[in-house]
Amino acid sequence: MEWWSLIKKDFSILVLLGVANSAPILARVLMGKRFSTPVDLGLTLWDGRRLFGDHKTFRGILASLIFTSIASQILGLGLLLGARLSLLSMGGDLASSFVKRRMGLQSGKRATGIDQVPEALIPLLVLRQELGLDYQEIFYLVALFFILEVFISPLLYAIRIRRAPY
């Protein structure tokens, strides 16, 4: 594959990952408390901690699904690919929240790496063949997503889009 096609493909994938993970935040900013039912419905597990916490909502997952599907269609990758990438990314986000709760971290607290890697790694691994990715490319995309997230989050906090600078 020539370098321009590779850059275009990787940029499109990063855009989709960004949309998938920023759509829930945008939905919260625009909608406030409306439709903010937690995915875990308040379920507490054997350790006395919530399954995921209040910040993981059906509204956020739906916003991610809709906006990522639309972005994927605009980028020429199709609605279905965007929907799958979104759901896999949200699954990674839920998995990281589950791990953070088991570690005793409260919802919304920082866990560098745990907060960024699963939501990029899981969709890229599952959709690897469909996206035409090799493992080295997945590594680079996850690393770049991590770096972008670490640098962009404080900016979003400064303009009051994020609740925390991480």
User: Which letter, b or e, does each residue of 51-60 get, where b requires 16 or more Cβ atoms within 10 Å of its Cβ?
Assistant: bbbebbbebb
The domain in which residue 108 lies consists of 3-158
- Residue 82 tokens read as 């965007």
Number of domains present in the structure of the chain: 1
Distances (CA, A) of 123 to 53, 117, 120, 141, 142: 22, 10, 6, 11, 10
Domain-embedded: residue 150: yes
Domain-embedded: residue 165: no
> Would the pTM of this model clear 0.85, i.e. be above it?
yes
Domain-embedded: residue 96: yes
Domain-embedded: residue 164: no
State residue 81's pLDDT score.
Answer: 99
**Spatial distance between the Cα atoms of 148 and 134, rounded to a whole number of angstroms:** 21
Q: Is the pLDDT of residue 157 over 90?
A: no
Q: Is the pLDDT of residue 19 over 70?
A: yes
Domain-embedded: residue 163: no
- Residue 111 tokens read as 């866990």
Digit-coded pLDDT (tens) for 57-113: 999 999 999 999 999 999 999 999 999 999 999 999 999 999 999 999 877 778 889
